[in-house]
Structures are given as C-alpha cells and as structure tokens.
Amino acid sequence: MRRRRPVRIAPSILSADFGHLARDVAAVEEAGADWIHVDVMDGHFVPNLTIGPGVTAAVRSATSLPVDVHLMIEQPQRWIEAFADAGADWITVHHEACPHLHRVVEQIRDAGARPGVAVNPATPVEVLRDILPDIDLVLVMSVNPGFGGQRFIEGAPDRVRRVRELASRVRSTPLPALQVDGGVAAGSAPAVVAAGADCLVAGSAVYGHPGGAAGGMAALREAVESVPEPGEVRA
C-alpha cells in the first residue's frame, strides 16, 4: 500500500569527512537523500563542539536539498537568525534548552525557517502537548545527544507512537514531521517507522557503511520501504 507520508532520510554530516564536506554532501544527494541534517553542538548543552553558521552556509552552497539544522545548544534564541541567514530551511531547538519555547518557535518562523522541537530520551513526550499546534517537526532523540555512532535506545519507538497519538489529538492534519535521530540504522529503522516516524536522521549508518554513502542510503531505504504507516489515531 502506498504511504500517505513518505519516509524521508536525512543523513547527518556529523559522520562525513569534514575535509571533503561538499563531496560528501553531494554523495548523499546523488544517493537519494531528502534533507541534509546539520548537528550543531556548543560544548554546554551537550559535551561536544561541532559547527556553526559558516559551515552551515557551506553545506547550503553544496546542495539543493533542504538543510535541516539541529541546534543542541543553550540559549538557541541567540543564533536563530544566523542559521536562517546561512540557509537553514528547518531549525530544531531542544525543549530542554528553552524556557520560552513558544517565543523561540515564533522567532524561527519570523526568520523564514520551519520550526522543530526536539526531546531528549528522558524528557516525557507529553511536554510537547501545548507547542504541537505551532510547530512543523518533532524530533524524538533515540540517543543522548552529543556524539554520532551511539547505540539506539530501545524505548524510542514507543515514544514516537505517543507523540503521534498526542499530535493526532491536539491538532488537525497535517501532522508535524516526526523525526528520529540517533543510532538509526537498517536494524532499528523499521520499528520507528512502524510507530509513525516519517523522517530518519542517520550519520554513521550512512557515512560509515561498508558500501559507502550510497550503500548506506540504499540499506536504509530497503529496510523501511515495506513498513506500513500506522493507522489513523482517533481523538
């Protein structure tokens, strides 16, 4: 049966070769990636430092795909315009980093990008209830953010299911994109898609695949192509 919501794959450039970033972005675009996921870490919200608006702008120049920026930073409100100006199409902030989340979501929209909200594995997904009508994407973390190559946390599919149910109750269609990030690979992807995820972020499973980025993309696509969409949830 044809899915109403196709599964999008967003390779994370965190696992790319930063010395050949444009080449590695082009490789996943050629292999059928839907978005390019950019992991921004500040050494405070998470114990790692990665990239900023400058490298994001370089990614923007290297692809025609939507650029999906995941801000794992404290006080993200200080950086929204810089990432939007760098070419981010989607900007996701963490619930845990935003005491004034609604204001930050509006700021993202005003900056011309589409807003997403991420929740860490230990954050009850129910905190999303009142922000769900205002956002275009929910990101359910399936690892504790900070590093690529970590093990998928098995409770993630159930959390995805609960977000989908909550979203169905608190807003009319269209539902927000439901993204999962961390340890997503051919083995873990079917369960999150069956639970309702329609956007998979994958770093090491794409760039670290023995068949290269094209092999990693193909393995992920094959793993999820026949997974049915969950049935409509009634309010």
Tell me which residues are annotated as active site: 39, 181
How far apart are CB 39 and ligand DX5 at their closest, in Å? 5
At residue 69, φ and ψ (nearest 5 deg) are: -100, 125
H/E element, 11? strand 8-11
How far apart CA 112 and CA 90 sit, in angstroms, is 9
CB closer to Zn ion out of 39 and 136: 39
- How buried is 89 (Cβ within 10 angstroms: 0-12 exposed, 13-18 middle, 19+ buried)? middle
CB closer to ligand DX5 out of 108 and 202: 202
Spatial neighbors of 173 by CB under 8 A, at least 6 apart, are none
Omega of the bond prior to 174 within 30 degrees of 0, cis? yes
The piece of 17-25, 154-162, 179-187, 213-221 that touches Zn ion (CB under 5 A) is 179-187
Please report, as a single letter, which amino acid is at residue 144.
N
CB closer to Zn ion out of 101 and 202: 202
Does 87 sit near ligand DX5 (CB under 6 A)?
no
Which x/- pattern, by CB under 5 A, does the window 50-79 give for Zn ion? Answer: --------------------x---------
CB closer to ligand DX5 out of 76 and 148: 148
Which x/- pattern, by CB under 6 A, does the window 174-213 give for ligand DX5? Answer: -------xxxx----------------xxxxx--------
Q: How far is CA 190 from CA 55, 85, 156, 157, 169, in A?
A: 32, 35, 12, 9, 24
**Site of interaction with ligand DX5 (CB under 6 A):** 12, 14-15, 37, 39, 70, 143, 145-150, 181-184, 201-205
